[in-house]
């Protein structure tokens, strides 16, 4: 009789999660295993739960590790314990619904990793009203020929404009080549308004840093030496990696919160699943206070009206 695959049981608060194939290599470059990934998420537990709490969450799963294909999964994987919570979403372009993971505790994160999840991609709205975003996301996305020094310069301008608006931004590395800045907002506008406001903000950044920034809609028309302020990340059902999410890249890079005064020195390559736990133990969650700083986006919508009066249209939302 064939033996069962090895497993370990992980205690998370008052939950027990069985991790099958704990020694399966997920990151061939370093040899990091599924159990290593679990231990990483346990080490940053309060941070990842804060980033995901009550939000619909799409999962990027690697059933056989990075050496095999990635699965983008909206629906909760089958076999979830009854304590793993979900939220039902309607997807108009499919004409059907899906129950997505809705993290309320660290056990749900560990269970998702057991189900081969590496990356967590939450919505910018919460379960109470999924159609009213409470998070404005500023995505500084460098073109193929845009260096990281440009990202850093533009980040300072973003900080300057946010200060002028009276908004508090919480930056993090993207886990790739860019930076994200999150702003908590009052959940009293729909996705279209939040995206319009995000575009107006992006255009203001473009005005101030024209040599570095583009808001050009089509990728093929963008100057690859410039940084795209991707306002589309505020469209409905568009998600980006959460704070403290490991990315599915060979060096196991992490999308990591940083302080504004770290922007000039922080190298995204330094933040990995091997280094971030010690940083978290020392600094805690740098996004912990984000809920205390909700911003009213009406000034952004006034900028959007100004842009419209000047003949600048809002491109249709992407599929």
Q: What is the pLDDT of residues 46-58, one digit of tens each?
A: 999 999 999 999 9
The verdict on residue 315 lying in a domain is no
End-to-end CA distance of the chain: 50
250 and 106 fall within a common domain: yes
Residue 109 lies in a domain: yes
Do 94 and 168 fall within a single domain? no
Same domain, 233 and 279: no
Given a cut of 90, whether residue 318 has pLDDT beyond it is no
Q: Are residues 78 and 188 in the same domain?
A: no
Burial (0-12, 13-18, 19+ Cβ within 10 Å), 87: buried
CATH of the domain at 116: 3.90.920.10
Q: pTM value?
A: 0.95
Domain-located, residue 317 = no
Full residue range of the structural domain in which residue 142 is found? 135-238+292-309
User: For residue 291, is pLDDT > 70?
Assistant: yes
Return the structure tokens found at 208: 């101030």
- E strand segments, the chain: 7-12, 15-20, 25-27, 32-33, 56-61, 71-73, 86-91, 96-102, 117-122, 135-142, 170-173, 179-184, 213-214, 227-229
The residue ranking higher by pLDDT, 253 or 311, is 253
Are both 189 and 303 inside the same structural domain?
yes
Is residue 82 situated within a structural domain? yes
pLDDT tens-digit readout, 61-97: 999 999 999 999 999 999 999 999 999 999 988 889 9
Q: Are residues 101 and 26 in the same domain?
A: yes
Number of domains in the chain: 2
Instruction: To the nearest 10°, report the CA torsion of 237, 241, 244, 246.
Output: 130
48 and 187, same domain (yes or no): no
**Span 152-201, pLDDT tens digits:** 999 999 999 999 999 999 999 999 999 999 999 999 999 999 999 999 99
| Same structural domain, 13 and 118 | yes
d(CA 20, CA 96): 32
Nearest in space to 289 (alpha carbons), one of 46, 126, 44: 46
* Pair (305, 277) in one structural domain: no
């Amino acid at each position: 009789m064939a033996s069962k695959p090895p497993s370990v049981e992980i205690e998370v608060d008052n939950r027990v999660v069985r991790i099958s194939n704990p020694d399966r290599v997920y990151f061939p470059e370093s040899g990091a295993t599924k159990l290593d990934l679990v231990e990483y998420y346990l080490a940053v537990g309060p941070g990842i739960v804060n980033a995901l709490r009550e939000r619909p969450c799409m999962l990027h799963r690697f059933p056989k590790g990075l050496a095999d294909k990635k699965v983008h999964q909206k629906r909760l994987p089958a076999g979830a314990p009854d304590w793993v919570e979900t939220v039902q979403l309607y997807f108009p372009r499919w004409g059907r619904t899906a129950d997505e993971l809705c993290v309320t505790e660290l056990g749900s994160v560990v269970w998702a990793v057991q189900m081969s999840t590496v990356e967590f991609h939450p919505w910018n709205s919460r379960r109470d009203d999924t159609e009213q975003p409470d998070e404005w996301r500023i995505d500084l996305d460098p073109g193929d020929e845009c260096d990281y020094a440009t990202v850093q310069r533009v980040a300072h301008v973003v900080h300057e404009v946010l200060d002028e608006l009276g908004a508090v931004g919480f930056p993090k590395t993207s886990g790739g080549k860019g930076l994200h800045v999150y702003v908590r907002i009052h959940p009293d506008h729909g996705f279209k308004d939040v995206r319009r406001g995000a575009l107006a903000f992006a255009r203001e950044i473009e005005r101030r840093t024209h040599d570095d920034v583009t808001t050009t809609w089509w990728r093929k028309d963008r100057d690859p030496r410039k940084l795209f302020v991707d306002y589309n990340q505020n469209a409905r059902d568009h998600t980006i990696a959460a704070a403290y999410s490991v990315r599915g890249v060979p060096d196991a890079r992490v999308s990591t919160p940083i302080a504004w005064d770290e922007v000039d020195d922080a190298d995204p390559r330094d933040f990995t699943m091997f280094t971030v736990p010690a940083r978290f133990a020392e600094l805690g969650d740098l996004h912990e206070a984000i809920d205390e700083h909700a911003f009213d986006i009406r000034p952004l919508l006034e900028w959007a009206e100004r842009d419209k009066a000047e003949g600048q249209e809002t491109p249709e939302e992407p599929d």
